[in-house]
Structures are given as structure tokens and as C-alpha cells.
């Protein structure tokens, strides 16, 4: 069964990524050593969809009585961590406990921060149930919650002891959420893996219909990239910043719209298009490379429209992002497909022009894709 090892300051951990991996959950968790209890943290929505199947694979009485919280992005707050911690106390969880986060990115982030904080740290296992969590958020040890001023502004670097990424769990994922995860996969292709990018260009129809072979390949490829990057730079002091491609603006769009308009990957999709336009406007990216990046993003499907947001409001949010330095906004920009550069400062007028061009770029690209499909259908 494919296993990818991730290096971390608290010791290496495995990401087991293969169909059927969940069936081995009990034995994989048992390898972590003795525990005084296994406590599942999830959401009502996730638990309705796959909770019974997951609980049957995990040993222990506590595993059958999950701690549930509302996993809407708008409710990803410190109050959720407090509630989880109180329930752990009532359930008798001590420092020998293991927390198992079952869900998407919000569940993983909040449960991970709870694991990092509760009794100053208990062991954490991630079982991601969304594509974005399997290829990105469950790996690397970033945990946290939002503030009204911005996303993930309170948190900790706290690596899990194990990640179980089973693509079978994605079979019941709503299609919009599945597509949202594909933008993170595209990110990896743009910043680090031209072969992955080309595969997505050629095989997007198969990927969109969740073909098992195509899906398994892109998941393991994405995890390997994430493992390599975070293993080299766990605390985001250098190379790891490359993973923020599309996220600087994406997080700002989420915050500016109250975390209600965009799924995370959708906001990142817009952020990647904007960053690509910035790279093009500053002569850092060839026109054809920019076209291919934008075209691939749009083949995933329609993105929610970007509402009217003042430049001043966006600038304020972006400047307060945790990746800003002394109020200076630093961007990740593609230099060619498969290679990106981080720590780039862009004049705000260039940023604003790139943002203003987004609706037109999307409309033109969608028109071109529709025409291409029509020609293909006639041939």
C-alpha cells in the first residue's frame, strides 16, 4: 500500500494513501503505541455521510461516540476549540489519548489545534474526507482557526502522527467540493511539477468523473510534493512559502465575503489566476504559459463570481495576512509551468489591475473552451 514518509521536527510520520487504506485504520493507529483512548473529532455532516463506516474501522468505545462540531468556515473559531476541549475533559481524555480528525480542511485545522492545545499536546491522526484535505491541509502540521480580521490567524504548527488518505472516501463528496480540491492539485502542477500539470491538461475529463486510476495518481503525486516541501521547510521560513500560490488573494476573498461565498479551493482558483496575471504584467511569465495556467483552472468548472470589493478593503485584509512582513505583501508568482518564485513584492496598482481583469479573463476563457468543445463534438 503506497506510503509517503513526511519529515517533521517532532519525528517522521506516514501518509498512507491508497484505496482501502481506511480498512487498516485500527492496525495503523495501533502502531502509534499504547493509548488511553481514541477520540474522534468530526462534524455532523461528515459523520452522517461516512461516520458509521469509519467508526467500524477504529477500535475503542470513544471512537463510537464522536465529538462533533459545525465545520462551516464561518464558524472556524476559537470557541470551537474550547468546545472540543471541554468535551474531551468530560470524556476523560488524558495525555495518553489519541485524537482522530475525520473530515475536510476545517475539521483537520480545528481538531489539530485542539490536539496541539489540549493538555499542552496529545497525539493526532488525520483521516481527511475531502480532496483538498487529502492532498493539502491534512499534511504539514498547520492547524488553526480564523479571526474576523483574517483566515488562520491563530494556530500552531503541530504535525500529526499519521495520515490516512483513502480516495474511496471521496465517492460521496459533493461535486462542487470535489472540484474545489482540484484547484489545489493544479497548484502543485504550476509550482513544482510540469508532468502533473500536463497530465491534468490531458486527463481532466477522467479526473472530473473521479476515475480511480487518474484520481489515485494525482493524489499520490500531490502528497509527495507537499511532503518534500514541508520536510525541507516545516515552519515556512523559505521554500514552504511556495505552497501559498493563489492563497494570498484567496484568503482575502474568503475573509472579505464572510467565508460564505467561496469554498476554499474556489477562492484559491481565483487567487491563482490573479497571481498569473501579475506575473504576466511584470514580464515574469510567458504569455502562452499564462494562457495554459488560466485555461486549466477554468476547465475544472465555473467559479463563483467575484463580488464588488473595494481595493482598499482587499488591501487591508491582504496586508494583515500572516504571510505579510511589516505590512509588505509578498506574492508567489509562477515563472514557468512547474516552477514558481516566492517573496515577490508587487506594486498595488498592478495588483488592482489584475483583480479588475478577472471577470473578463474568465468570460473569454470560458467562451474559448465552449467553442473548442463544440468543434470537438462535430468532428
Q: C-alpha cell of 101?
A: 480528525
Handedness of CA 337, 343, 348, 349 (dihedral sign): negative
Q: Of 237, 173, 205, whose CA–CA distance to 45 is shortest? A: 173
Please give the backbone phi and psi of residue 257, each rounded to the nearest 5 degrees, phi first.
Answer: -110, 20
CA distance 223 to 164: 12
CA end-to-end distance (rounded Å), the chain: 42
Radius of gyration from C-alpha coordinates of the chain:
20
CA distance 31 to 34: 8
Please give the backbone phi and psi of residue 154, each rounded to the nearest 5 degrees, phi first.
Answer: -125, 125
Of how many residues is the chain composed? 379
CA distance 71 to 46: 9
Q: How far is CA 311 from the centre of its chain?
A: 26
**Within 10 A of 60 (CB to CB), how many other CB atoms are there?**
18
Q: Please give the helix or strand (H or E) that residue 103 lies within, else none.
A: strand 97-103
Mind telling me the catalytic residues?
120, 142, 184, 226, 236, 240, 244, 247, 251, 264
Amino acid at each position: 500500500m503506497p506510503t509517503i514518509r513526511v519529515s517533521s521536527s517532532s519525528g517522521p510520520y506516514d501518509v498512507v494513501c491508497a484505496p482501502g487504506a481506511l480498512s487498516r485504520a485500527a492496525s495503523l493507529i495501533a502502531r502509534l503505541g499504547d493509548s488511553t483512548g481514541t477520540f474522534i473529532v468530526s462534524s455532523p455532516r461528515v459523520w452522517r455521510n461516512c461516520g458509521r463506516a469509519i467508526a467500524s474501522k477504529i477500535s475503542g468505545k470513544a471512537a463510537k461516540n464522536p465529538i462533533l462540531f459545525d465545520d462551516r468556515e464561518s464558524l472556524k473559531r476559537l470557541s470551537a476549540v474550547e468546545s472540543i476541549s471541554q468535551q474531551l475533559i468530560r470524556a476523560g481524555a488524558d495525555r495518553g489519548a489519541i485524537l482522530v480528525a475525520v473530515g475536510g480542511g476545517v475539521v483537520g485545522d480545528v481538531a489539530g489545534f485542539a490536539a496541539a492545545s489540549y493538555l499542552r499536546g496529545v497525539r493526532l491522526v488525520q483521516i481527511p474526507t475531502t480532496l483538498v484535505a487529502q492532498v493539502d491541509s491534512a499534511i504539514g502540521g498547520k492547524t488553526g482557526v480564523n479571526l474576523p480580521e483574517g483566515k488562520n490567524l491563530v494556530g500552531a504548527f503541530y504535525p500529526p502522527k499519521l495520515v490516512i488518505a483513502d480516495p474511496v472516501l471521496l465517492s460521496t463528496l459533493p461535486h462542487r467540493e470535489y472540484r474545489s480540491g482540484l484547484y489545489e492539485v493544479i497548484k502543485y502542477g504550476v509550482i513544482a511539477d510540469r508532468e502533473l500539470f500536463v497530465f491534468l491538461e490531458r486527463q481532466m475529463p477522467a479526473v472530473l468523473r473521479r476515475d480511480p486510476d487518474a484520481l489515485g495518481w494525482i493524489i499520490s503525486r500531490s502528497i509527495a510534493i507537499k511532503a518534500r516541501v514541508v520536510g525541507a521547510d516545516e515552519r515556512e521560513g523559505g521554500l514552504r512559502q511556495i505552497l501559498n500560490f493563489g492563497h494570498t488573494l484567496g484568503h482575502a476573498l474568503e475573509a472579505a465575503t464572510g467565508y460564505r461565498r467561496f469554498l476554499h479551493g474556489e477562492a484559491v482558483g481565483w487567487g491563482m489566476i490573479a497571481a498569473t496575471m501579475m506575473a504576466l504584467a511584470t514580464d515574469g511569465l510567458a504569455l502562452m504559459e499564462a494562457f495554459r495556467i488560466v485555461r486549466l483552472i477554468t476547465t475544472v468548472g465555473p467559479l463563483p463570481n467575484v463580488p464588488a470589493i473595494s481595493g482598499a478593503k482587499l488591501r487591508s485584509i491582504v496586508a494583515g495576512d500572516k504571510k505579510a512582513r511589516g505590512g509588505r505583501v509578498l506574492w508567489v508568482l509562477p515563472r514557468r509551468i512547474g516552477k514558481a518564485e516566492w517573496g515577490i513584492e508587487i506594486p498595488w496598482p498592478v495588483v488592482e489591475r489584475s483583480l479588475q481583469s478577472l471577470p473578463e479573463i474568465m468570460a473569454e476563457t470560458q467562451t474559448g473552451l465552449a467553442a473548442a468543445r463544440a468543434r470537438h463534438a462535430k468532428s
